[in-house]
Structure 1
Amino acid sequence: MGIMNKVMNGLSGNLNEITPDALQKEYGMYLMEGEVINTGFKLVRDVVLFTNKRIIDFDKQGATGQKMRVNYINLSSVIHVSAETAGFGVDDSEIDIEYIASPYFKANGGVTVVKKSFEFPKSYNIQPLYRYLQEIAYHNHEAINS
């Protein structure tokens, strides 16, 4: 993908895929013991990592981007995933993740569910990532309801 396409994707809110090695060098210090980056994406200054344990969202703030907020979603809390593939023209692909944000997964604990959306450029094939997340959501749903 050329530099102009990357700039246009960044301006339109699309995530550009970055190699796990490059992400490991820059963000490895935020990983837990045994955590491995599967894939990751960058949007201008912000970054999202998909690891074997979490989805980690780095939100760089301020004019220089020195200030940064780090949020994460435990994969064990993901309960629903939906995808919208790119259509004709300038449409983008999107993956929506619903996860349990409350500390208790059972209904008697007052479960809070939150939705997070990720937009991807039309050129990125979201199907493998969707399938990975969908399998996690399915297994989590089965474990919670067993």
Structure 2
Amino acid sequence: MPQRNGALLIPGEEMLSCFEAMRDFVVFTNKRLIAVDVQGISGKKRDFTSLPYSKIQAFSVETAGSFDLDAELDLWFSGLGKVRLEFKSSCDIRAVGQLVATHVL
């Protein structure tokens, strides 16, 4: 996954981490989040959304529960509004929150 997305990075940008959802994933770099939405039956079509840390105004994390099997990261961006990213329940969502906090606060 992330190996194929190295072409999306700009000079001086480094990939820090990558977290998976069911088919989608989020790449965290030192400058932004890249949300990758895998589309279609074959998964060959992908939507890449660049979300710069500098535009994040607030964020929250929600852990997975017994019936709600995915963890969630909600981000509020100036000029864009709320973006919700969902992660597998096995994802350490607190680590995701710390990663965002490191670059936003």
> Could you say which TM-score interval applies, normalised by the shorter chain?
0.7 to 0.9
Structure 2 unpaired stretches of 5+: none
d(CA) in 2 for partners of 1:86 and 1:42? Answer: 14
Task: Report matched runs for 1:54-69 at 5 Å.
Answer: 54-69=32-47
Structure 1 unpaired stretches of 5+: 1-21, 101-111, 139-146
**2:103 is equivalent to residue 125 of structure 1:** no
Give 1:44 shift: 4.3
Aligned length: 104
Structure 2 counterpart of 1:136, one-letter code: H
**2:76 is equivalent to residue 98 of structure 1:** yes
Q: Which runs of 4+ in 1 moved over 6 A?
A: none
Give 1:125 shift: 1.8
d(CA) in 2 for partners of 1:122 and 1:67? Answer: 25
Task: Report matched runs for 1:39-50 at 5 Å.
Answer: 39-50=17-28
Higher helix proportion: 1
C-alpha contact (below 8 Å) 2:16/2:29 kept by paired residues:
yes
Q: Deviations over 1:38-69 (max 9, x none)?
A: 11123344332111111112223333333322
Give 1:35 shift: 1.1
Specify the alignment match of 1:141 in structure 2. none
What TM-score results when the alignment is normalised by the length of structure 1? 0.61
Rg larger for: 1
Structure 1 counterpart of 2:56, one-letter code: V
Secondary structure in structure 1 of the residue aligned to 2:4: helix
Specify the alignment match of 1:10 in structure 2. none
d(CA) in 2 for partners of 1:42 and 1:125? Answer: 11
The two structures, once aligned, show a CA RMSD in angstroms of: 2.0
- The structure-2 alpha-carbon separation of the partners of 1:77 and 1:71, relative to structure 1 and needing over 3 Å to count, comes to same
Report percent identity of matched pairs. Answer: 33
Higher strand proportion: 2
Specify the alignment match of 1:37 in structure 2. 15
